[in-house]
Structure 1
């Protein structure tokens, strides 16, 4: 892929993402639709997807970023449904689709049909999670969707390797396939834990937010490549790079509570920017493969109608497999239940309905299909069907998922109340701890200052008021409704404070333009004002949302 073309795709996807955010649209859907139209314009250079680029450069940071923001406790609590969807459903989907394809195209070898099944089996939850977060899906549902997206790629890619081995005749039995999967899982998890532990150790010695974030950027690539290149029992066995990345991300995300505030803030900004850049890029790149898919279909040894109908059947079969699996597994023995509550009640049918319709496929499906060796029987059919499933699910399920969520009103009415109660209790504990620490400081440090007792007492009272004022502000922001928050004295005070910071910044810039303030001095002052305004704006925005 030429550098100029790559830059054009990146810039175009970012521009479409900006438009989508401006008008409250789904960025992946808009990017896919526009990219499909662009791909059909005659004379434009074709952009062929390189599987190695996606699997080694694009996929690891996306998985790592999601893992960093995932809660280990939530992940552990929903481990059973996550494994059921991320592993068991992937295997079921692969074999069902292989059976369907074998019925549609009897002359296609079973191993080739299984390759297609493995290719289309892993959903990409980027669109579903973005829509669900925007429309307020319950936290448990979001945890299941996010967790599924973190593990299903590993299961699908491992199954893909097994199917490829069957095509070339190196896979001997079903037991061999299980062995490959077991080794990939164990080695991948161990590599991820080791990578996370090493990076955490390095970070504790640095005390430098910039370098700490730089080491964090290296983690997903190092973990992925290391796991994929470890072959403990021969060339056929290797670690899962996906599981290594996910494990490292979960480990370091959990340990980030020990990092400095500057490191956490910087990491959040860095990975948010990387996500925006890569998510738009992968959807654009996926849709731009249309000309290559059509060319391959023209050279297939089948008529166009057979290919078209077969592709449509595979598309709908892929979407429909998920629906009964989600509902049936939720009412099987508790070891397989989805979204099981603490009371062991059956999960809400509305939540299951939403989960069953979040099976959009993504760029991993296209990348795996593109990576099928040229001499594989039915390669053109595999790529056509994979493209149809990926684009079709994004357009059909992506467009219908928001209305479905609104229609079913899938929200947890008690979740906000629980969150408010927990936050109030935690802030009360923090306030008491601050007062206790202030009394200790008054005895040990403030009392040693060479100031009068009355001034010392006023200083202590002032610090107490700071703690109490912050608590009252948070308490009011938590308990008030949205309209009340916007009209509250605390919100008006925050807005006024922001206006004053803006005025100060404008005055400083004017002094610099007049030649009375050096550029370096200006940058130093602006950094202080910017950080203070970011604090005010972020707090206000979080409370108003």
Structure 2
């Protein structure tokens, strides 16, 4: 079994590498190749328990995705993310459940709703890979990524509720809502505890290897403990990832540089295996169809596949219109409050927080505006993935579900997963190009923002150098000012000859190293302040901090070579 899994992983990684080399969407190619390979006699037919698959694959993939999501963008798009990640999952589960019960009454209503919960959550891995390659706007990518971070929690909570009903427990609607709120609350608490602990470790321990190792372990711990406490492991991992990612600029540059390639490799490995595993389940599906009554199950699979394709756009457009109406109502409410006698607009308070300006108020209350083209892409980016297949495999062990119903659920989950991957995944690039949904405007705005913040960043660095120069002569003697000025020019003008600057600085290398690191620290703090003030997007800030990390790495490398 272990050898079979190893060879499957190697093959999947090789296919994914070819896809990356050719610029093709790797998840789709891996799935197609795995489907074809499943007919080859010597290809192993591996089977992993659904619970084990979720516990191994889901935590690191969720955590890595949360690290890369802009917390500011996530917070601003939260109304849209919440509608897609919670309410769309509930609506999809209900529609699919009722249709499945009508097509195959032997499933029973709880079993049909269980099937609905299984196929409801999309997996944004495929959509994200296609979107990044084709340059989808950041506003669309944020919504898709944010949805994928929370919809699994909704689906898995519903799965637990309907599994309990199948086992004979009495669960009311309010009881189900209570379980969901408990799962979210406990998950957020566990995730924040782990996030704070991991962040403290990353800021206090100056060892990138140790920090990276604990970063690999933390998602599994947060997921397992939250699930043990009847919380949502998904929410725990997402909360931890958002907290750690938001505070990542406060850690050492070595930790950030160690972390990025580590998680890129982990994602590449896990995603390749997951989509290969999905494709290799075809023999099991064929066996389930030949052993049982294939006709009704095939009909059910087609009906459910059509339902998940249709429900999403039918939900996205009305939900978007409702969101725009709700935004207008909120703005009118706070405008009336701001214009009340004796209340200046700058003194408006939002939920008891400190006073904010009218512009800041509008920014916080206004949803990210999505055009009908953006919503068309979001409507068609509903590919299913590992959560759907893993929960279907886990359903086979549930009490109260007979073998025929379990086989039907596995077959339907497989058809929906592969069907959406191929139908939507292969046509999504064409749709994006046909509608012209690209981020040209955002790129221009980022360029302007980058130019402006670089100027302010340089000014902050120069102010620090001027302040240090005034005390330099007192600390080290006036004869050191020429060397200070030469090194300061090297810091401000990165195109200067590094060897010449180093030679002048050599007599006081430790002092000049401290000066350079202080100069970088002041500039990083300035970027964090700009982000806090809402003047700088997180994506642009990360780009600038990455450049500063490279500067600090070059500085430390020169010091190591000198010693």
Bin of the TM-score, shorter chain as denominator length: 0.7 to 0.9
Deviation at 1:3, TM superposition (A): 1.2
1:299 equivalent in alignment to 2:299 = no
Where do 1:274-293 residues align within 5 Å?
Answer: 274-293=266-285
Q: 1:321 aligns with which of 286, 289, 311?
A: 311
Cα deviations by residue, 1:373-401 (Å, 9 ceiling, x for unpaired): 34513111111001000011001100000
Check if 1:164 corresponds to 2:154. no
Q: 2:414 aligns with which of 387, 394, 400?
A: 387
Paired with 2:327 and 2:378, the residues of 1 have a C-alpha distance of 13
1:460 to 479, 482, 485: 485
CA separation in 1, counterparts of 2:290 and 2:170?
A: 31
What is the CA distance between 1:439 and its match in structure 2?
1.8
Equivalence map 1:6-25=2 (5 Å) = 6-25=5-24
For residues 341-356 of structure 1, the aligned pairs below 5 Å read 347-356=370-379
Deviations 1:322-342 (A, max 9, x none): 01101111111547779x996
Structure 1 CA distance, aligned partners of 2:369 and 2:252? 42
Match of 1:29 in 2: 28
- Contact 1:329–1:336 at 8 Å: present in 2 too? no
**Residues of 2 paired with 1:99 and 1:419: CA distance?**
47
In structure 1, how many angstroms separate the alpha carbons of the residues matched to 2:486 and 2:133?
Answer: 43
| Cα drift, residue 117 of structure 1 | 0.3
Q: Is the 8 A contact 1:80 1:336 kept in 2?
A: no
Cα displacement (A) at 1:365? 0.5
Per the alignment, residue 135 of structure 1 pairs with 134
Alignment correspondent of 1:248: 240
Residue 191 of structure 1 deviates from its aligned partner by: 0.5
Segment of structure 1 superposing worse, 428-437 or 150-159: 428-437
- Per the alignment, residue 85 of structure 2 pairs with 86
Contact (CA 8 Å) 1:84, 1:336: kept in 2 or not?
no
> Which residue is equivalent to 1:372?
395
Contact kept, 8 Å, 1:51 with 1:370, in 2: the verdict is yes
Residue 411 of structure 1 is aligned with which of 421, 438, 455?
Answer: 438
1:399 aligns to 2:399 (yes or no): no
Inter-CA distance 335–112: structure 2 relative to 1 (3 Å threshold): farther
Q: Secondary structure at the match of 2:459?
A: helix
Single out whichever of 286-295 and 457-466 deviates more from structure 2.
457-466
Q: TM-score, normalised by structure 1?
A: 0.81
* SS of residue in 1 equivalent to 2:107: coil
Instruction: Tell me how far apart the structure 2 counterparts of residues 19 and 424 of structure 1 sit (CA, whole Å).
Output: 37
Who is 2:455 aligned against?
428
Query: Which string of whole-angstrom CA distances, capped at 9 and with x for unpartnered residues, describes residues 482-531 of structure 1?
Result: xxxxxxxxxxxxxxxxxxxxxxxxxxxxxxxxxxxxxxxxxxxxxx9xx7
Counterparts in 2 of 1:299 and 1:446: CA distance versus 1, 3 Å: farther
- Distance in 2 (CA, whole Å) between partners of 1:248 and 1:420 is 31
Q: Indicate if the aligned counterparts of 1:330 and 1:337 stay in contact, CA closer than 8 A.
A: no
1:115 is displaced (CA, Å) by: 0.9
What is the CA–CA distance in structure 1 between the aligned matches of 2:57 and 2:494, rounded to whole Å?
46
CA–CA distance in structure 2, aligned partners of residues 213 and 35 of structure 1: 32
Relative distance call for 1:201 and 1:345 in structure 2 (3 A) is closer
Deviates more, 1:392-401 or 1:100-109: 100-109
For structure 1, the 5+ residue unaligned runs are 231-237, 472-527, 536-545
Aligned to 2:120: 121
Q: Assess if the C-alpha contact under 8 Å between 2:76 and 2:368 holds in 1.
A: no
Counterpart position of 1:45: 44
- Kindly indicate whether the alpha-carbon contact (under 8 Å) linking 1:67 and 1:253 is maintained by their aligned counterparts in 2: yes
User: What is the RMSD computed on CA atoms of the aligned residues?
Assistant: 2.5
Report if aligned partners of 2:77, 2:368 keep a CA contact under 8 Å in 1. no
Note the alpha carbon deviations across 1:122-152, whole angstroms, 9 max, x for none.
0000010111111111111110000000000
- What TM-score comes out, normalization by structure 2 length? 0.78
- In the TM superposition, what is the alpha-carbon distance from 1:209 to its structure 2 partner? 1.5
Distance in 2 (CA, whole Å) between partners of 1:402 and 1:159 is 32
Equivalent residue for 1:523?
Answer: none
Instruction: Give yes or no for the alignment of 1:262 onto 2:287.
Output: no
Residue-by-residue CA offset, 1:426-473 (whole Å, 9 max, x unaligned): 1111111211221222222356446747xx3364045225414469xx
Q: How does 1:148-163 map to 2 (within 5 A)?
A: 148-163=147-162
User: Is this contact kept in 2: 1:435–1:464, CA < 8 A?
Assistant: no
Question: Do the aligned partners of residues 277 and 175 (structure 1) sit closer, same or farther apart at CA in structure 2, a change above 3 Å counting?
Answer: same
Match of 1:474 in 2: none
Structure 1 CA distance for aligned equivalents of residues 65 and 302 of structure 2: 32
Cα distance per residue 1:93-113 (max 9 Å; x no partner):
001001111121123200110
Give the CA deviation at 1:205.
Answer: 2.7
Shift of 1:206: 1.6
1 CA distance for matches of 2:93 and 2:479?
A: 78
